[in-house]
Structures are given as structure tokens and as C-alpha cells.
Amino acid sequence: MRLNKIILSFVSALVILFSTSVASFAKVVGDKIILGAAISLTGKYSSNGVHTQNGYNMAVDRINSMGGVKVGGKTYKFDIIYYDDESNPKRAAQLAERLISQDGVEFMLGPYSSGLTKAIAPVTEKYGVPMVEANGASRSLFTKGYKYLFAVLAPANLYLDVAIDLAVEKNNGKPVTVAMAFEQDAFSQDVRLGVLDAIERTGSKKVIDDKLPKELNDMAATLVKVKQMKPDVLVVSGHTKGALTAIRQIAEMKVDVPMLAMTHCDAAKLSKQHGKNSQYALCASQWHKTLTYKDNFFKDGMTYAADFEKEFGYDPPYQSAESSAALLVFKDAFERANSFDQKKVRDALAATNMQTFYGNIKFAPGGQNVDKPMVLFQVMCDDSGKCENKVVAPTKWASAKLIHPVPKWSER
Amino acid sequence: MDFMVFQYPMITVQACLDGVLLGILFALIAYGMALQWGVMNIINIAQGDLVILGGYIAYFMYLYGIHPAWGVIVAPVIMYFLGVLIYKLVINKVVDRDLFISILATFGISILFMQLMNFAFGADVVLANSDYGTTMLFNNNVVLPNSKLFSAFISILFAICLVIYMKKSKLGRAIRATAQNARAAKILGVDTEKVYAATFGINAALCGVAGALISITFTIHPYMGLPYTIRSFMIVIVAGLGNLPGVAMSGMGLGVFEEFADYILGTEFRIGSVFLLLVLILVYRRFKLSRKREYLK
């Protein structure tokens, strides 16, 4: 009998708790605009998930402390409900559903990775919930005709095509030979398509086209082929593990290639893990702190990086910077729409044309940002072994001159 | 299809050497699995996760300024005790049950380990740098990273030590007796419970060594264990239980097979070809078995 009472009171306490929490989770409550986000706080994307969350939080605090969002003559503050999607697309889609239909969220921020964004986009689209995402670059996100999806970052096919152009330019405009090694996931395959386009455009030739497995930790076979074929450029994209494995084995096997271009060097902390072995690697990046874009909230890249480091204790990777930019886009759109009507906010988002510390933002009809080029940086080390990433392309933003061709291992 | 590997003799040599060195490392992991399978009739799905955990031990030593090669001594010691602990907590409850139960139990352990490692060490891909340099052969046409040579050497060393230990020591004899017939061994005074615990511990220790070597030669990540489990399973299936030379040979064979599959079919079919080979071997074994049966009839 007593046990029954205890259970009953426990259940009723839970019911009360949930009913109050649901009530407080409507889209705009009092002076708060509540955004929803499913983020990978556990699972295989957890480190980049945390970078994303830190980026979001940093921008929320900054915007709120600098006057918030002004809509209809009233000032509002941002707040975000987070759920952990466990790096699992199915879970992410469920959580998006829950955020929208249970928690009443009417505006969403994106998750980390193309795969999870792909899982969430159909849900937000179905409910007509505008979503600004900062970490899904796969080209297929922008060809589905989504009306409520906006990405502040450049699509994946633009990651490394700059490298091919650069190699051709260094070869006095003559075509080059390219070796490619790409993981078999949506993102890397999109990067590959971009490189293929660039190869075709410049009349270059691909000599190796390897697809790396998901469980990749050995690419010796690819590198042996590279040694034999001696291409002008080696392009590798396989997330963090691809970058780390490539650098380790290129150094161990003394593979000489005039240009090595990769993705995810930032997240892989290449120079920290590999020191001088990572020198001369070219890395595609959405953002670098030395770029001189400006806004009123974070001032510029260098200030953002310093503030971020003060708050979170590490140098911000581009995943954090683009996540912060997503909030700036939302604020701008709310103020221009001067309303919380989802359709009006959506239209305001579509008409975005602004500069942030992260870069210019202007959306194509597909939702991708077409106003921000990718940058390439090169890992450069001094004699003491301290390495730094220096932007080398495009020329407009370059803070150092590209070292090309990469010196041979026997001369290092 | 790309037959470049046969057009340049040096690539053939390189592929064979890479494969053999890789295979020796696989064989070490597979030997632990075979031992446990033979003695306790348990297929350990968490094998690969124990390997990765061993890798993290070496990685953390490296992080604190100790050369990761010492990991091949420290990791097995820690992993041995962890293995015994896992045995006492979980495995001793499933050891007499049917194979399916033990597969489920170790599958659970595998998931638990993956998540715990992810929680404790983060989801970043990491590696330990040994700075061992490179050996060049045949006029610099064949390159062998010294870290791979080191891995193979240490694997062989541990395998030899283990064989001697199994032959000469009291515990080794007890383990072999239990493998032959657990009930008879028990009647003759062997404490089979202790033997089981030690076997599980030894397997975990071997995984620890292999993991430390993998962190030196390749990369580690909380979710990278499964391919190692599959490869060792495959090697044991081919070699049979309690057949150490067989395990070594099939390990190296698998390594070379993988390398050639990589060159000929493409890197994307590397793991796929291992699965395909597994299926073919199982079918072949069944075919052979059925012929034998007919003959008996």
C-alpha cells in the first residue's frame, strides 16, 4: 500500500515536471527566442559536436549581452534547447521531431556532419521550420529543393578544387596529373566530385582514384602506387583519420609528391600530432582566424579566436566559427522579418546578404552559401619544430607564400 | 580491376612484405582468440575492443612523455588484470552455456567498451609516434617503416614466449588439459575456474600488446575494434583451434591477401574481400565435410 503511494507520488511529480517544462518550451516565451538543436555530444562525432555546441553558445552569450534581438520594438534573447543525438542519424531525426512537435520549437540550428543534417532536413522541411545549419556541406543537401534549409558554409564540392587550380597555376597553366584517395562517405565523395570537375576543367589527368574504407587506418597500398606513378598532386579526404593516416604513412614511406592537399587537418590537429612531418601539407578550410572579414559582434577572426580561447581554452576550429555565424544569421533574419512568423523568417533568411567575421553570407536557392570561398592553408614549421597554419590561397587572403613544390624527403 | 601490382615487380615485393608484416600482427590477436575459443568455447566479440584499449594505454604513455614502445610491456600487464576482472564479472556466468549466449555477452561487452572509451578518451583519432624511421630496400624501391618491423618482431617474440609457457609451465599444462577435456581435468585436480580466468587474462594481455603495436604503426579510435575481431575470427576459422603454426600461416596469408585485394580490386574492397574469403572458406569446409560423410556412409 505504502509502496503504491510512493509510486503514485513519484509519477505525479514526473507528470507535473513534464507539464511545466513543456509549457516553458514554446518558441518565443516572454523575452526569449528558443531555438532547438540536436548535437552529437556522445558517439563518434562527439568532439566536433562539442566544437559546434561551443560555437553556438559563444554566439548566444555574445548576442544576448550586446542587446539581443529586436523584433516589433521589443528586445528578445536567444536560448537553445540541446539534445544529444549520439552521432546517430535515426536518433537525430527523432529528436528533431520531438523538438518540433513536443517542445514546440519553431526555429532550428543544424547538427554536426552532413549525414545527420541529411537526416534532420526532411523533418524540418515537413513542419516548415527554418533551419540554419553550419556543419553539413554535402552537395546533395542543396539539390533536393529544400525551402527551409540554409547553410552558412560552402558546399563540399568546393573544398579541394582550388588545390587543382593552384597546381595548374604553379605548372605555368599546363595540366597536371592527380592522384586521389577518398573515403566512401557522402562528404568525401562530394569533395571528390569537385576535384573531378576541376580536373576536367583544367584538362588534367587522374592517375589514381582510390576509395578508402570507413575503417581506414592503412593506406600503404595507395601510397606505393603514388610512388610509382609520381603524380603532381595527391588529394586525400577521409575525415580526421584520413588526414592522420596519410601524414604518418607519407613520412614513413618517404613519398615525394610536389603537392599534398587534404581536408580536416584542423580537426586532426595535424601539426600537434605529427610535428614537422605534417609540414607543407595543404589543407582546405571553411575559415581561418587570419581572414579579415568583420562584423559588429565578434569584430574579426583574430578577436573571435582570442575570445573563444579565453572561454573554452583552445583555439577555435572552423566548426566552431561557422556555428557562431549561424546565430548571427538568425538574428539578422529575425530583425529584417520583424516577426516570428516562420514563413516571413524563412523569406528573410533567403534574402540574407551580410558579412560576418566568418565570411560573407548569401544563400543560393538551394540553401548553400555562395558568397564565401574556401581557403587553403599550408602547414609551415620553423626550425624549432613549432608549426603553424598559414593561409596561402586564394591570393586575396594569403598571409604567406605557397611553398611549391614540396621539398623531397631526402632534402629535409 | 587494376593489375599494376604485377606489372612492377617491386610493387609485388612491397605488397608481399606489407602483407606479411601486417599478418603477423593479426596472427597475434587471432592466437589469443583461438586460445580462448579452444579452452573456454567462447568466441570473444570484444576482442577488437580489447586491442583498441591496449592501444590507448600506449597512447597515454606517449602523451606523458614515455616512449610508446614501453606500452608493449605495460599494456599486457594492465590488460591481464582487466581480463581476469571481466571474467569474474561476466564471463564465468556464461562459460558453460551455449555458444550463442557467450557471443551475446561479449557483444554486450564490446558495445560497453566502445562507449566507455569514447566517453573517457574522446572520439578523436589518435596515434603514438615512435620516430623509428624507415628501412629502404632494393635501391629505395621498397620501403618498410621500422615501426612495422618492430611490431612484427615483438609479435613473434610474444608468440614464442607463449608457446614455451604453454609447454613448460604448470598453468600452461593445466590450460592445455582443460582445453582437451575440462571435466577430466577437473577430476584430476585442475582448478578449471582459475584456468578459465587465466586464459581470459592471457588473451586480454595479447590484445594489449597488439593494441600498443597498432597505436605505433597505425591509428586508434574507440570504434575501430570490429575489423580486428573479424580478422582474428577469420584466421581462427581457417587455421582451426589449437594450431599455432596454422594461425601464424593463415594470419600472414590473410595479410598478403588483403594487400593484393587492395591493389587489384581497389582499397574499397579490402575489408569486403576478407568477408568474401570467410564465406568461401566456410562453404568449402562444409563441402569437404559432406564428402567425408558420404564416404563414411
Residues A44, A136 within the same domain: yes
Q: What are the start-end ranges of the H helices in B134-191?
A: 146-168, 170-180, 182-187
Q: Which three cell numbers stand for residue B139?
A: 635501391
> Which chain B residues are within 8 Å of A210, Cβ to Cβ?
266-268
Is A49 found in the same domain as A29?
A: yes
3-class secondary structure, A206: strand
- Answer whether A213 sits within 8 Å of B270, measured CB to CB: yes
- Look at A210 and B224 and tell me if their CB atoms are within 8 Å: no
Q: Do B268 and A218 touch (CB under 8 A)?
A: no
**Rounded Cα gap, residues A324 and A166, in angstroms:** 30
Please indicate whether, in this complex, the C-beta atoms of B129 and A228 are within 8 angstroms of each other: no
Q: Which residues of B touch A252 (CB under 8 A)?
A: 134, 143, 145, 147
Per the omega criterion (within 30 degrees of 0), is the bond before A89 cis? no
Please say if the pLDDT value at position B122 is more than 50: yes
Question: pLDDT tier at A409 (50, 70, 90 boundaries)?
Answer: confident
Would residue A340 count as lying in a domain?
Answer: yes
Q: Is A79 left (phi over 0), alpha (psi -120 to 50) or beta?
A: beta
Res A8: pLDDT? 61
- Interchain proximity A220–B18, CB inside 8 Å: yes
Reduced to 3 states (helix: H, G, I; strand: E, B; else coil), residue A147 is: coil
pLDDT at res. A24? 42
Beta carbons of B219 and A245 less than 8 Å apart: yes
| Interface residue B262 vs chain A (CB under 8 A) | yes
Contacts of B160 (CB under 8 A, 6+ apart): none
Find the Cα–Cα–Cα–Cα dihedral B175, B179, B180, B182, rounded to 10°: 90
Tell me if A62 is assigned to some domain: yes
Q: What percent of chain A has pLDDT over 90?
A: 46
| A369 within a domain of the structure (yes/no) | no
Question: In 10 A of CB A294, how many CB atoms?
Answer: 13
- C-alpha A118/C-alpha A344 separation (Å) is 24
All structural domains of chain B: 4-296 (1.10.3470)
The 10s digit of each residue's pLDDT in A239-248 is 888 888 888 8
B89 touching A (Cβ < 8 Å): no
- In chain A, residues with a C-beta closer than 8 Å to the C-beta of B270 are 213
Q: What is the average pLDDT value for chain B, to the nearest integer?
A: 87
Does one domain contain both A331 and A253?
A: no
d(CA A112, CA A85): 10
Q: What's the CA gap between A261 and A254, in Å, rounded?
A: 16
pLDDT by residue (tens digit) across A301-358?
A: 999 999 999 999 988 888 999 999 999 999 999 999 998 999 999 999 999 999 999 9
Residue A2 lies in a domain: no
Average pLDDT over residues A214-225: 82
Environment class of residue A410 by beta-carbon count within 10 Å: exposed (0-12), middle (13-18) or buried (19+)? exposed
User: Is the previous residue joined to A394 through a cis bond, with omega within 30 degrees of 0?
Assistant: yes
Nearest Cα of chain B lies from the Cα of A177 at a distance, in angstroms, of 17
For cell 624527403, the residue is A409
For chain B, percent of residues with pLDDT exceeding 90: 31
Are A67 and A45 in a shared domain? yes
How many domains is chain A partitioned into structurally? 2
Answer yes or no: is pLDDT of A290 > 90. no
Q: Give the mean pLDDT of B3-12.
A: 74
CB contact under 8 A, B115 and A42: yes
* B140: chain A residues, CB-CB within 8 Å: 254
- The CA distances from residue A386 to A261, A273, A379, B28, B115, in Å, are 21, 12, 10, 38, 34
- B20 inside 8 A of chain A by CB: no
Residues with Cβ within 8 Å of residue A6, at least 6 apart in sequence = none
User: Are residues A317 and A248 both part of a single domain?
Assistant: no
- In this structure, the answer to whether residues A317 and A280 fall within a common structural domain is no
| ipTM of this predicted structure | 0.79
In this predicted structure, what is the pLDDT of residue A267? Answer: 65
Whether B18 and A221 lie within 8 Å, measured CB to CB = yes
- With cut-offs at 50, 70 and 90, classify the pLDDT of residue A20: very low
Give per-residue pLDDT as tens, B40-58.
888 899 999 999 999 999 9
The stretch A392-410 carries a mean pLDDT of 84
Whether residue B118 and residue A273 make contact (CB cut-off 8 A), yes or no, is no
A15 lies in some domain = no
Give the best residue of B17, B126, B218, B269 to mutate against chain A (max A CB count within 10 A). B218
Residues A34 and A126 in one domain: yes
Q: Are residue A280 and residue A298 in the same domain, yes or no?
A: no
Q: Do A47 and B123 touch (CB under 8 A)?
A: yes
Q: Which of B25, B254, B262 to mutate to test the interface with A (most CBs of A within 10 A)?
A: B262
Give the span between the Cα atoms of A311 and A309, in whole angstroms.
Answer: 5
pLDDT, tens only, A29-55: 778 899 999 999 888 788 889 999 999
CA within 13 Å, CB half, A87: 16
Same domain, A36 and A180: no
- CA dihedral angle for residue B99, residue B104, residue B109, residue B115, rounded to 10 degrees: 150
Which of A362, A383, A400 is the endpoint of a domain? A362
* Per-residue confidence (pLDDT) for residue A39, from 0 to 100: 94
Tell me the per-residue pLDDT of B249-273, one tens digit each, with 9 for 90 and over: 888 988 898 888 888 887 778 878 8
CB contact under 8 A, A254 and B134: yes
DSSP sequence for A3-49 = HHHHHHHHHHHHHHHHHHHHHHTSSEETTEEEEEEEE-SSSTTHHHH
**Cβ–Cβ contact A219 with B under 8 A:** yes
Q: Is B116 on the interface with A (CB under 8 A)?
A: no
What is the pLDDT at residue B5? 67
Q: Which of B22, B122, B224 sits opposite A47 (nearest CB)?
A: B122
**A contact test, residue of B12, B149, B267, B268 with most A CBs within 10 A:** B267
| A226 and A96 fall within a common domain | no
A163: domain CATH number is 3.40.50.2300
* Minimal CA separation from A344 to chain B, in Å: 39
Closest CA to B22 of B279, B252, B231: B252
Task: Identify the three-state secondary structure at position A373.
Answer: coil
Average pLDDT of chain A to the nearest whole number: 87
Distance CA B223, CA A385 (A): 32
Q: Is A45 on the interface with B (CB under 8 A)?
A: yes
Whether A119 maps to a domain, the answer reads: yes
Residue A367 lies in a domain: no
The answer to whether residue A10 sits within a structural domain is: no
User: Could you tell me the residue range of the domain that residue A403 belongs to?
Assistant: 158-285+374-411
Angle at A37 between CA A33 and CA A41, to 5 degrees: 135
Inform me whether the C-beta atom of residue A408 falls under 8 Å from chain B C-beta atoms: no
Query: Which domain-ending residue is among A362, A382, A402?
Result: A362
Question: Is the full-model pTM beyond 0.95?
Answer: no
Please check whether residues A150 and A65 belong to one and the same domain: yes
How much of chain A exceeds pLDDT 70, in percent? 93
Residues A162 and A31 in one domain: no
Residue B285 has a pLDDT of 80
